[in-house]
């Protein structure tokens, strides 16, 4: 479990993280979502003690990261910028980290297999592709078999197969009761991987909600109808709480009725329908809506 | 999924010997560091032999005065010291800045969030590894250099000051590497740390030649006093010189500790 309370990070006169408070619960995948520059990486670095907060606290299982006596056994972390010396082999990199906690070689070999780097474990990490480097970073994060796993943009640079692998892996780890906290700027990826979302923008908390709820918010009650009998149908649908807007010549946009109700009305009056489509905002649109005011760098339409 | 499940986390607590072992794995698993170290050691021995061979070759054409000056000089064998000092100093810098340059430092400090054990382990390891290897190289340089020059020149380890100078040479090299590592922690940047180290080792002595009053107190000159078999009347006594250099390094190191503990990684 991760507890962040009033966490603040100031660089000069810029607030990168602004009094952020949230809790990441065990047993589910929590997505940390926000546009680039929203303060996600800074927050994660503060949780694992690499950056010192200007104010506030971050605790993992009730303790500041640096107060854990065997931190790699409690928390595994993958940071966005690769924390790997390119001149060292994957195996030596993992062995060096393992040595600080007397984690046995057998475990090093186990995580090498887990992330599928067996063939290249003896090669210099500098020769790795972005995706292989990402796998090595995940291996390092899992080295201590930690109860909490923090991953910054883990699917960056992975091929589709790798993305699916990470998704399955994280869901499995969460199912084992671990706390999984991963960041992304891609709503579409989060929708598939996460159970819960913490959304930030400009260093502030925007939303802390289950993915399902965002999905629900994204759904609207508008239904698009295409019919050659637009004028007649429009009259027949009219009623309290129903609004009908006309689009193109044969199009109606109806709110206040479900597509089933509209279909029934049309049949009852012998009207032909060419199309009957419930309108849904995509999750991506819902996310954009949520973060609209919080986008740090936005192209301005000329 | 785990071979670790059975081991309680408390059995994995980070400790100094464990961090030291981690640093040892890091040191020997990087070709750049091991090659720089090997080159530094090879330079010490190689230059001693080469200087001996050149002196032998020139012997026939030397004046009596020159011959006399060579025969009383014990510094033949330390011809490789400056090159060795630069290479091993660079190795000391790289052990630290290599981590900052690549981002490895974040993995290191996430594993050892108290941070200070990383610094003490790196310095301890450099002291042990370089202390042992430079001492061996220094004796090798002495014996090989003496053997090459044996036709013209007779000297013994038991001559006054010689043993101290041979051991002192190892001290100079190891201390330079420690200064390099301290600069690395302070500056976190390979180019800046190497430039500063070379400034101290190469450029400051030139300043000393122009301004002789301060010369003995410049860090590199002070340190060099422990490696001189015949004390230079203008230099500090070996013990005082070493102390002065240690104090200088301690100041840099204090800055390095501040940087490590207080600044974001």
A140 in reach of chain B (CB within 8 A)? yes
- Dist. CA B26–CA B108, nearest whole Å: 10
Mean pLDDT value across chain B = 89
Whether residue B3 and residue A107 make contact (CB cut-off 8 A), yes or no, is yes
**Percent of chain A scored above 90 by pLDDT?**
65
Distance from CA of B61 to the nearest CA of A (A): 50
Distance separating alpha carbons of residues B173 and B74, to the nearest angstrom? 18
Q: What is the pLDDT of residues A143-168, one digit of tens each?
A: 999 999 999 999 888 899 999 999 99
What is the residue whose two structure tokens read 């002192």?
B168
Distance from CA of A19 to the nearest CA of B (A): 19
The residue of A93, A99, A177 whose CB has the most chain B CBs within 10 angstroms, and thus the best one to mutate to test that interface, is A99
**Average pLDDT of the residues in B237-265:** 95
Whole-angstrom CA distances from A218 to A141, A213, B45 are: 34, 8, 74
Confidence of residue B11 (pLDDT cuts 50, 70, 90): confident
Question: How far is the alpha carbon of A188 from chain B, nearest alpha carbon, in Å?
Answer: 29
- CA nearest to B25 within chain A: A96
Contact A138, A154 (CB under 8 A): yes
- DSSP-derived pairing of the beta strands A75-78 and A148-152: parallel
HEC sequence for A269-280: CCCCCCEEEEEE
Distance CA A155, CA A180 (A): 14
Name which of A92, A202, A68 is nearest A140 in CA terms: A92
Test the B interface: residue of A44, A52, A83 with most B CBs within 10 Å: A83
Tell me the two tokens of residue B34: 């091991």
Best residue in A70, A92, A107 for a mutation probing chain B (most B CBs within 10 Å): A70
Contact A80, A156 (CB under 8 A): yes
Residues sharing a CB contact under 8 Å with residue B155, sequence separation 6 or more, in sequence order: B74, B146, B162
Mean pLDDT of chain A: 90
pLDDT at residue B85 above 70?
A: yes
What is the interface size between A and B, counted as CB pairs within 8 Å? 128
pLDDT at residue A302, rounded to an integer? 43
Chain B residue whose CA is closest to A84: B104
Question: What DSSP designation does B200 have?
Answer: I
Cα–Cα dist A238/A66, whole Å? 65
Q: Is pLDDT above 80 for A218?
A: no
Q: Round to whole Å and give the CA distance between A110 and B149.
A: 58
Euclidean distance between CA atoms A9 and B36, whole angstroms: 40
Burial class of residue A297 in the structure, from the number of CB atoms within 10 Å of its CB (0-12 exposed, 13-18 middle, 19+ buried): exposed
- Could you report the per-residue pLDDT of B118-158, keeping only the tens digit for each? 999 999 999 999 999 999 999 998 888 888 888 777 778 88
In the DSSP assignment, the letter for residue B75 is: G
DSSP string, chain A: -EEEEEEEEEETTEEEEEEEEEEE-TTSEEEEE--TTSSHHHHHHHHTTSS--SEEEEEETTB-GGG-SSHHHHEEEE-SS----TTSBHHHHHHHHHHTTT--HHHHHHHHHHTT-GGGTTSBGGG--HHHHHHHHHHHHHTT--SEEEEESTTTT--HHHHHHHHHHHHHHHHTT-EEEEEES-HHHHHHH-SEEEEEETTEEEEEEEHHHHHHHHEEEEEEEE-TTHHHHHHHH--TT-EEEE-STTEEEEESS-HHHHHHHHHHTT---SEEEEEE--HHHHHHHHHGGG-SS-PPP-
Per-residue pLDDT for A220 more than 80? no
A100·B29 Cβ contact <8 A: no
Least confident of A199-208, A261-270, B2-11: B2-11
Range with the poorest average pLDDT among A133-137, B6-10, B226-230:
B6-10
Radius of gyration of the CA atoms of chain B, in A: 21
Query: In this model, does residue B79 exceed pLDDT 70?
Result: no
B3, B19, B106 member nearest A100 (Cβ):
B19
Strand pairing partners for A201?
Answer: A204
Interface of B with A (CB under 8 A): 1-5, 9-14, 18-19, 21-23, 25-26, 29-32, 98-99, 102-114, 262, 264-265
DSSP structural state of residue B97? H
Which has the higher per-residue pLDDT, A84 or B71? A84
Q: Are A178 and A148 in contact (CB under 8 A)?
A: yes
- Per-residue pLDDT of A57-73, as tens digits, reads 999 999 999 999 999 99
Provide the pLDDT confidence category of residue B189 given band limits of 50, 70 and 90. very high
Contact by Cβ (8 Å): B256, B185: yes
Closest by Cβ to A96, choosing from B10, B12, B26: B26
- pLDDT > 70 in chain A, percent: 94
**Number of Cβ atoms within 10 Å of the Cβ of A246:** 12
Check whether B77 has a pLDDT greater than 90: no
Torsion angle, CA of B227/B233/B239/B242, rounded to 10 degrees?
Answer: -60
Q: Which phi-psi region, left, alpha or beta, contains residue A111 (left: φ > 0; alpha: ψ -120 to 50)?
A: alpha
Identify the pLDDT of residue A190. 87
Min mean pLDDT across A134-148, A174-188, B63-77, B159-173 is at: B63-77
Measured distance CA(A36)–CA(A201) in Å, rounded: 9
Mean pLDDT of A241-265: 86
Say if the Cβ atoms of B113 and A95 lie within 8 Å: no
CB A77 within 8 A of CB A141: yes
Banded pLDDT at B3 (limits 50, 70, 90): low
- Residue B76: what pLDDT? 53
Residue B223's SS3 state is: helix
Q: Find the range with the poorest average confidence among A237-241, A277-281, B140-144, B208-212.
A: A277-281
Chain B positions in Cβ-Cβ contact with residue A106 (cut-off 8 Å) = 3
Greatest mean pLDDT range, A46-50, A267-271, B203-207, B226-230: A46-50
Q: Is A49 part of the contact surface with chain B (CB cutoff 8 Å)?
A: yes
In this structure, how many other beta carbons lie within 10 angstroms of the beta carbon of residue B78? 27
**CB within 8 A of B167, min separation 6: which ones?**
B135, B138
Nearest to A83 among B4, B11, B103 (CB): B103
Q: Is the pLDDT of residue A273 over 50?
A: yes
Interface touch A92/B25, C-beta < 8 Å? yes
Contact A107 B2 (CB under 8 A): yes
Structure tokens at B110: 């996430």
CB A53 within 8 A of CB A8: yes
Structure confidence at residue A142 (pLDDT): 97
Q: Is A32 left (phi over 0), alpha (psi -120 to 50) or beta?
A: beta
- Verify whether the Cβ–Cβ distance A87 to B3 is below 8 Å: no
A243 DSSP β-pair partners = A255
Average of per-residue pLDDT across A245-249: 79
Residue B61: what pLDDT? 87
Strand partners, B256: none
Lowest-confidence range among A23-27, A98-102, A264-268, B74-78?
B74-78
Residue B6: partners with Cβ closer than 8 Å, 6 or more residues away: none
């Amino acid at each position: 479990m991760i507890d962040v309370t009033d966490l603040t990070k100031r660089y000069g006169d810029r607030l990168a993280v602004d009094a952020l408070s949230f809790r990441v619960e065990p047993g589910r995948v929590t997505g940390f979502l926000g546009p680039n520059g929203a303060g996600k990486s800074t927050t994660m670095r503060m949780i694992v003690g690499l950056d010192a907060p200007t104010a506030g606290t971050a605790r993992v299982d009730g303790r500041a990261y640096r107060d854990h006596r065997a931190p790699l056994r409690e928390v595994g972390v993958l940071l966005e910028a690769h924390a790997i010396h390119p001149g060292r082999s994957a195996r030596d990199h993992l062995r060096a980290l393992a040595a600080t906690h007397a984690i046995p070689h057998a475990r090093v070999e186990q995580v090498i297999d887990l992330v599928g780097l067996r063939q290249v474990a003896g090669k210099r990490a500098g020769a790795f592709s972005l995706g292989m480097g990402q796998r090595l970073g995940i291996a390092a994060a899992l080295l201590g078999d930690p109860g909490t796993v923090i991953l910054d943009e883990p699917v960056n640079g992975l091929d589709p197969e790798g993305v699916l692998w990470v998704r399955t892996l994280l869901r499995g780890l969460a199912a084992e009761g671990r706390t999984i906290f991963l960041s992304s700027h891609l709503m579409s990826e989060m929708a598939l991987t996460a159970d819960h979302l913490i959304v930030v923008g400009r260093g502030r908390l925007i939303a802390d909600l289950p993915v399902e709820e965002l999905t629900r918010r994204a759904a609207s009650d508008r239904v698009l109808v295409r019919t050659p009998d637009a004028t007649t149908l429009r009259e027949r649908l009219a009623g309290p709480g129903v609004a009908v807007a006309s689009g193109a010549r044969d199009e109606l946009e109806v709110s206040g009725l479900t597509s089933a109700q509209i279909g029934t009305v049309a049949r009852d009056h012998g009207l032909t329908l060419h199309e009957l489509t419930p309108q849904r905002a995509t999750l991506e649109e819902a996310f954009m809506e949520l973060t609209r005011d919080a986008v740090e760098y936005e192209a301005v339409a000329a | 999924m785990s071979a670790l499940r059975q081991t309680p986390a408390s059995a994995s607590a980070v400790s100094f010997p464990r961090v030291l072992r981690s640093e040892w794995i890091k040191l020997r698993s990087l070709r750049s560091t091991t090659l720089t170290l090997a080159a530094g050691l090879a330079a010490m021995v190689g230059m001693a032999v080469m200087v001996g061979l050149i002196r032998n070759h020139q012997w026939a054409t030397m004046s009596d005065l020159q011959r006399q000056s060579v025969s009383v000089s014990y510094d033949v064998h330390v011809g490789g010291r400056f090159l060795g000092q630069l290479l091993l100093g660079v190795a000391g810098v790289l052990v630290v800045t290599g981590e900052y340059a690549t981002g490895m430092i974040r993995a290191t400090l996430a594993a050892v969030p108290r941070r200070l054990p990383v610094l003490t382990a790196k310095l301890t390891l450099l002291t042990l590894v370089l202390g042992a290897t430079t001492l061996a190289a220094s004796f090798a340089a002495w014996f090989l250099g003496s053997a090459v020059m044996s036709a013209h020149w007779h000297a013994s380890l038991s001559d006054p000051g010689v043993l101290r100078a041979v051991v002192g040479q190892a001290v100079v090299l190891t201390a330079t590497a420690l200064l390099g590592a301290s600069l690395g922690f302070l500056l976190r940047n390979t180019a800046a740390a190497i430039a500063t180290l070379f400034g101290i080792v190469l450029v400051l002595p030139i300043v000393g030649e122009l301004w002789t009053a301060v010369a003995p107190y410049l860090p590199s000159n002070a340190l060099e006093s422990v490696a001189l078999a015949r004390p230079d009347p203008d230099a500090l006594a070996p013990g005082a010189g070493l102390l002065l250099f240690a104090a200088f390094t301690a100041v840099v190191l204090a800055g390095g500790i501040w940087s490590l503990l207080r600044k974001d990684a």
